[in-house]
Amino acid sequence: MRAVVQRVKSAKVEVDTEITGEIDSGLLVFLGIGKEDDQKDADYLLEKIINLRIFEDDEDKLNLSALDLNKDIMLVSQFTLFGDCRKGRRPSFFEAAPPAEAEKLYDYFVEQAKKSELKIETGQFQAMMDVKLVNDGPVTILVDSKKNF
């Protein structure tokens, strides 16, 4: 399971001009689910994301997490995070989980995230989404449950 975690001042997701999720200051998380991923990967990644110390403390050091500061989190499914561009010019998505399996694990991830005390918003699984955001920093972190990076 892979995530691109961006610290944002705000984020909004629309599907066909309808807002499916909107947050103020917090994290925008693009979440990719691989064919080898399971609930253990989801639990690891969620714990890592909500506890990532990527917000400044009083001394301007990145010492505080979304959980510490009660920040909002926007979760957006994005299978293209498993795009492999090592051969040719068109990405291969062989390592991405099939949609039915990915949706189950994405739903599990969202359910677990909602158990935190944070405001959790989402995009719409397998939809064409307009994602609007205002980066804060910018601070962008890559996280992988298999610890590939």
Which residue carries 């066909």 as its tokens? 16
* Strand (E) or helix (H) holding 22: strand 18-23
Give the number of C-alpha atoms closer than 13 A to the C-alpha of residue 68, restricted to the C-beta side.
12
CB 21 within 8 A of CB 6: no
20 is catalytic: no
**Six-digit token string for 86:** 């090592």
Spell out a b/e string for 113-142, using b for 16 or more CB atoms within 10 Å of the CB, else e.
beeeebbbbbbbeeeebeeebeebeebebe
Among residues 17, 20, 80, 140, which one is catalytic? 80
Residues with active-site annotation:
80
